[in-house]
Structure 1
Amino acid sequence: MKISVIIPVYNAEKYISQAVESALQFEEVYEIILIEDKSPDNALQVCQKLAEKYNQIKLYQHSDKGNHGAGASRNLGLEKVTGDFVAFLDADDYYLPNRFDAERELFKNPEVDGVYGANGVQYYSEKAREQYYPIYKDKLDTVYKKTNPEDVYLGLINLRGTFGLIHLDALTIRKTALSKMSKMFETSLRLHQDSEIIVRLAFYLRLFTGINEQPIALRGIHEDNRITKVDSGKTNPATTRVLLWRELSKWAENEEGVPEDVKLHIQRMLRSFEIAIAPGFKKWGMIGKYLITDYRSIRSGLYNINFRSTII
């Protein structure tokens, strides 16, 4: 196996060395592609030193040296990969020693397009633990049971009830399988672009369950995470999820082969989050309308908003 690991780097000078070295422990890691995204800290200088130290590291920036977000950075990384398999890692996360144990076996089957496992949580400070433990606890980000590849995307959009999720840190894709995708990461989404592409990957590709009962990578939780700032209540999480489901709705409507029940479910999920961010009077009007026309979907959507704040 020749695995290319793509790491978008933004404001991660404290963590990027750990991320890189966690990937270098595997002989299958053929190259590590760092995309430095105009960090406000000294991350670029740290990346330059790492590139000088390790031959496997390739360092890039966007052509205008500007900040374009994690999605655009991962897209640039995908343009640069030369390995046979693609894995992802956030700059403040790291791989565990069992990261590719399942992949070594499963990818022997040419019908396997991708393998996913479980992602755990690492709190980088007591302050981060105190602030975010009520949200993330010590749970795993994973699909909670082995699932047929044909059904994975249905679970990810909550059409099959409680299912879990796939984190990019724990996903490995066969490079040739990416040709089935009409586009890569949606760059208009500053948050949840990873969740959006994982749904589409699961629709087009045959993704198999790897190690899902224990973590194969750890997600670093600290005060400066982009996503934790949303989930901690500083931003209404429903607002960012409206954008996510809006993009999924556009994809479902325009992509040939998406079943009608899937299109309808995605539209319903979008409506429920739109209700969540609507101002008071308008909100009750929207709820009244959908109670009459679409009661079950609204009930499901409100359940997800109120009790499952970690929906991808």
Structure 2
Amino acid sequence: MKISVIIPVYNAEKYVTQAVESALQFDEVHEIILVEDKSPDNALKVCKYLTEKHDRVKLFQHPDKGNHGAGPTRNLGLEKATGDFIAFLDADDYYLPNRFDAEKALFKDPNVEGVYGALGVHYYSEKAKEQYYPLFEDKLTTVYKKHDPKEVFPGQLNMRGSFGLFSIDCLTIRREPMFRKLKPLFKTHLRLHQDTEFLFRLSYYLDLYPGILDQAIAVRGVHENNRITTVDSKKVNPAITRVLLWKEINDWAQNEQTVPEEVKRHIKRMHRSYEISLAPPFKKWGMIAKYFITDYPSIRSGLYNINFKKYLF
């Protein structure tokens, strides 16, 4: 295996060295691609030092040296990658020694196009733990049981009951089918949730297999300056970002001829539920009445769907 590990770097001078060193421990890692996204701290200086110290570490920036966000930054990393397999790692996270154990066995089968595993959590400070423990606790982010690849896409859509989650840090993808089947790669206009949107489409077009699900293969590093802090501090309304995410998924599904009608209705229902949840109380029922007329099958089925009602009321 020749794996390219792509690390978008923004405001991570304290953590990126650990991320890089955690990837360098694997002989299968052919290269580590750092894409620095105009960090306000000294991350660029740290990245330059890492490229001087390690032959397998490569550094890139956007042509205009500007800040473009995680989506375009990962896309640039993909453009520069030369490995047969692609893995991702956020600059404040890190891999564990078992990161590619399952992948080495599973990718011997050419039909396996991607493998996912479980993500652990580490709090870099007591303040970060106090702030984010209610969100992450000490739990694994994982898929609860092994599923057939065809069940991964509907599972992420909550169409088959409790499925769980997997993180992009714990995903390894065979390069060729991803570039051939997934266009575009990361959506460049989504500032948040672009990785979630990417995983939805990826699991539709590629056969993704479960790796190690009962123990962490990578760790989410939680600190006060995580991207999620912006959402938590209400600089960005999380409800609005969810509406934008589901609008993006809905637009894709309605225009993808191979998506079954049942799935299209479910995705539209999820988009409607988030959209309605944002409306002031006096507008909610007006919107429901409107969609009963214009989109009756979706709303009627949605009213009997627990995910819809959760965000509606």
User: Under TM normalisation by the shorter chain, which class is it?
Assistant: over 0.9
Letter in 1 for 2:189: S
Residue 184 (structure 1) aligns with: 185
Structure 1 residue aligned with 2:152? 152
Q: Which residue of the partner structure matches residue 310 of structure 1?
A: none
Give me the identity figure in percent.
65
- Give me the whole-angstrom Cα distance separating, in 2, the residues matched to 1:70 and 1:144: 28
CA distance in 1, matches of 2:40, 2:309: 39
Quote the offset at 1:229 in angstroms: 3.4
Q: Does 1:258 align with 2:259?
A: yes
**Segment drifting more, 89-98 vs 159-168:** 159-168
SS at match of 1:13: coil
Deviation readout 1:112-152 (Å, 9 max, x if unpaired)? 00000001111111011111111111111111110000110
Aligned position for 1:47: 47
Q: Note if 1:209 corresponds to 2:215.
A: no
Query: Quick one: which of 294, 298, 302 aligns to 1:297?
Result: 302
What residue identity is the alignment partner of 2:155?
G
* Larger mean Cα displacement after TM superposition, 291-300 or 238-247: 291-300
- 2:143 is the counterpart of 1:137: no
The structural deviation recorded for 1:153 is: 0.4
Number of residue equivalences = 307
Deviation, structure 1 residue 289: 5.2
Q: Aligned to 2:145, what secondary structure does the other structure show?
A: coil
Give the TM-score taking structure 2 as reference length. Answer: 0.93
SS at 1:48 equivalent: helix
Contact 2:8 2:70 in 1 (8 A): yes
1:207/1:138 CA distance change after superposition, 3 Å: same
Change (3 A) 1:55 1:304: farther
**What does residue range 259-298 of structure 1 map to in structure 2 within 5 Å?**
259-287=260-288, 293=296, 294-298=299-303
Name the structure 1 match of 2:60. Answer: 60
Which letter does structure 2 place at the counterpart of 1:192?
A: H
Greater shift after overlay, 274-283 or 21-30?
274-283
Please state whether the residue corresponding to 2:191 is helix, strand or coil. coil
Comparing 262-271 with 230-239, greater Cα deviation is found at 230-239
2:218, 2:127 → 1: CA distance?
Answer: 22
2:225 aligns with 224
Q: What secondary structure sits across from 2:17 in the alignment? A: helix
Q: Displacement of 1:237 after TM fit? A: 2.0
Gaps of 5+ in 1: 308-312
Partner of 1:98: 98
Work out whether residues 75 and 185 of structure 1, in 8 Å CA contact, stay in contact via their aligned partners in 2: yes
Distance 1:138 1:234 in 2: 26
63-72 vs 158-167, greater mean Cα deviation: 158-167
Q: Tell me if structure 2 keeps the 8 A contact 1:36–1:60.
A: yes
Q: Aligned to 2:217, what secondary structure does the other structure show? A: strand
CA distance in 1, matches of 2:302, 2:234: 25
Tell me the equivalent position of 1:21.
21
Alpha-carbon contact 1:166-1:198 (below 8 Å) kept: no
Question: 1:69/1:119 Cα in 2 relative to 1: closer, same or farther (>3 Å)?
Answer: same
Q: One-letter code of the match for 1:257?
A: T
The worse-fitting range, judged by mean Cα deviation, of 73-82 and 249-258 is 249-258
Q: Post-superposition shift, 1:284?
A: 3.3
Q: Following TM superposition, by how much is the alpha carbon of 1:305 offset from its aligned partner in structure 2, in angstroms?
A: 3.8
**Over aligned residue pairs, what C-alpha RMSD do you find?**
1.8
TM-score (norm 1): 0.94
